[in-house]
């Protein structure tokens, strides 16, 4: 569905209102939706091909990346796995927010771990793996259950091996005999028996002031987020404050601007950082219906140098990821308070196709709605709701 526009690039008429987003997936699309209501314009960049595209329908625009960078007010990104030269070019423009350092910390687990260590932020015990014998050594130190991860390019649980026994170890060591560790070092993490996964999304404005959304509880299937509940059930002010302190330390160290997501493992009072994402995040999609200003709107406000909007929760929300299945029937839309967000992508297994925000003002109401939606979903998605429905 690509089409080249020629003639006047009208989207450049007021460069002061233009934000360039590196990446052109659903996060850029939702940033566009958050920006238009503020009267700001967004151009997305297909980072692989270095072309400017419309963030919603992906049509190719008659404009080079250089022209877009030159004309815009700010440059930001929707993901961290970006070509290094593009990040450098964005950074060199002086308009890139957050910045190349934050992108590097999100893109490379080794950079991320060393930053966490330097800042004394608790994270999973881990070892860097540069050879099969490093892995055997790590298994002795961190085992009997390890999660082995590629240092770069991992997302949605891709690029991971679960090593839960000596037998698993032998199989993975065999698989890695010819692996190019120099090109792609690995990170072995101790498998943490946490009570639950939560995430904190905070937003930092251009002056370094922070605002935080309430913590979100996240449920994964096959290494991929399937469901978020927000605000996290049983959220205490102490837990929120502890997570905010971690976030503040990280945001300040990175001289941050925009939304920064921190994924955490909670066990009792203890919080371990799993990873950070220097961008808007899937576990923050609930804010589209749950808050006065969504994560997308607030990210755009921040990078555009505008005041931040309210981040407090106005409703309870369950965010259901719509993964690997075609668009649901319109029956779903008959339910009051079920909000479908569809990304218009072709269906592929494990691919995030859209999400549904289920909104309520009490736990009972939310459970009832989850039960109703459960009955309308394909089996592969309904199972994710089975435990929490009424």
The site for ligand ATP (CB under 6 A) is made up of 124, 147, 149, 154-158, 189, 191-192, 197, 220, 223-225, 263, 274-275
Judged by beta carbon distances under 5 to 8 A according to partner kind, the member of ligand ATP, Mg ion, none in contact with residue 124 is: ligand ATP
Nearer to Mg ion, 112 or 263 (CB): 263
Least Å distance, CB 189 to ligand ATP, is 4
What the block records as the tokens of 36 is: 């238009």
Least Å distance, CB 194 to ligand ATP, is 7
Least Å distance, CB 91 to Mg ion, is 25
Q: Which of 305, 280, 282 is nearest to 295 (CA)?
A: 280
Least Å distance, CB 218 to ligand ATP, is 7
- Residue list 227-286, contact with Mg ion (CB under 5 A): 263
Q: How many residues bind Mg ion (CB under 5 A)?
A: 1
* Alpha carbons 137 and 128: distance in angstroms, whole number: 11
* Alpha carbons 284 and 95: distance in angstroms, whole number: 25
Judged by beta carbon distances under 5 to 8 A according to partner kind, the member of Mg ion, ligand ATP, none in contact with residue 156 is: ligand ATP
Least Å distance, CB 283 to Mg ion, is 9
- Residue list 122-161, contact with Mg ion (CB under 5 A): none
Nearer to Mg ion, 225 or 381 (CB): 225
Nearer to ligand ATP, 79 or 256 (CB): 79
Judged by beta carbon distances under 5 to 8 A according to partner kind, the member of ligand ATP, Mg ion, none in contact with residue 220 is: ligand ATP
Least Å distance, CB 187 to ligand ATP, is 9
- The CA-CA-CA angle for residues 186, 96, 243, to 5°, reads 60
Judged by beta carbon distances under 5 to 8 A according to partner kind, the member of ligand ATP, Mg ion, none in contact with residue 244 is: none
**What radius of gyration, in Å, describes the C-alpha atoms of the chain?**
21
Judged by beta carbon distances under 5 to 8 A according to partner kind, the member of Mg ion, ligand ATP, none in contact with residue 189 is: ligand ATP
Judged by beta carbon distances under 5 to 8 A according to partner kind, the member of Mg ion, ligand ATP, none in contact with residue 371 is: none
Least Å distance, CB 217 to ligand ATP, is 12
Least Å distance, CB 162 to ligand ATP, is 9
Nearer to ligand ATP, 274 or 367 (CB): 274
Least Å distance, CB 73 to Mg ion, is 30
Judged by beta carbon distances under 5 to 8 A according to partner kind, the member of Mg ion, ligand ATP, none in contact with residue 224 is: ligand ATP
Q: Which of 358, 350, 360 is nearest to 381 (CA)?
A: 350
Query: Is the C-alpha dihedral spanning 258, 316, 263, 55 positive or negative?
Result: negative
Nearer to ligand ATP, 240 or 266 (CB): 266
Q: Which of 8, 29, 1 is nearest to 352 (CA)?
A: 29
Query: Quick one: three-class SS letters along 285-330?
Result: CCHHHHECCCHHHHHHHHHCCCCCCCCCECCEEEEEEEECCCCCCH
Nearer to ligand ATP, 69 or 161 (CB): 161
Nearer to ligand ATP, 78 or 205 (CB): 78
Cis bond before residue 326 (omega within 30° of 0): no
Judged by beta carbon distances under 5 to 8 A according to partner kind, the member of Mg ion, ligand ATP, none in contact with residue 80 is: none
Nearer to ligand ATP, 17 or 156 (CB): 156
Nearer to Mg ion, 87 or 225 (CB): 225
List of residues contacting Mg ion (CB under 5 A): 263
């Amino acid at each position: 569905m690509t089409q080249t526009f020629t003639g006047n690039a009208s989207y450049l008429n007021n460069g002061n209102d233009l934000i360039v987003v590196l990446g052109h997936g659903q996060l850029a699309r939702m940033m566009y939706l958050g920006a238009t209501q503020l009267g700001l314009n967004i151009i997305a960049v297909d980072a692989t091909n270095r072309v400017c595209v419309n963030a919603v329908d992906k049509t190719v625009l008659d404009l080079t990346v250089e022209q877009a960078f030159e004309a815009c007010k700010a440059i930001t990104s929707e993901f961290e796995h970006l070509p290094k030269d593009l990040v450098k070019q964005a950074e060199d423009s002086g308009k890139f927010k957050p910045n190349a350092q934050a992108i590097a910390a999100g893109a490379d687990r080794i950079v991320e771990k060393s930053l966490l260590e330097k800042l004394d932020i608790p994270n999973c015990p881990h070892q860097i793996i540069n050879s099969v014998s490093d892995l055997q050594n790590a298994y002795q130190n961190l085992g009997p259950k390890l999660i082995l991860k590629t240092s770069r390019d991992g997302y949605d649980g891709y690029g991971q091996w679960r090593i839960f026994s000596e037998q698993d170890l032998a199989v993975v060591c065999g698989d890695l005999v010819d692996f190019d560790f120099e090109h792609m070092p690995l990170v072995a993490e101790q498998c943490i028996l946490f009570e639950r996964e939560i995430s904190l999304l905070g937003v930092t404005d251009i002056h370094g002031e922070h605002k935080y959304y309430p913590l979100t509880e996240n449920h994964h299937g096959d290494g991929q987020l399937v469901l978020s509940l927000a605000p996290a059930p049983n959220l205490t002010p102490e837990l929120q404050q502890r997570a905010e302190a971690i976030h503040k330390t990280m945001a300040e160290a990175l001289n941050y601007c925009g939304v920064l997501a921190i994924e955490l493992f909670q066990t009792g009072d203890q919080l371990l950082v799993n990873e950070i994402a220097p961008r808007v995040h899937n576990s923050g999609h609930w804010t589209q219906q749950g808050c006065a200003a969504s994560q997308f709107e607030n990210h755009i406000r921040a990078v555009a140098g505008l005041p931040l909007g309210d981040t407090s929760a106005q409703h309870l929300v369950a965010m259901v990821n719509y993964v690997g299945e075609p668009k649901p029937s319109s029956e779903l839309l008959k339910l009051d308070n079920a909000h479908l967000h569809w990304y218009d992508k072709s269906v592929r297994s494990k691919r995030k196709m859209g999400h549904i925000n289920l909104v309520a003002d009490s736990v009972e109401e939310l459970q009832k709605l989850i039960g109703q939606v459960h009955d309308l979903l394909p089996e592969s998605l309904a199972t994710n709701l089975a435990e929490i429905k009424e």
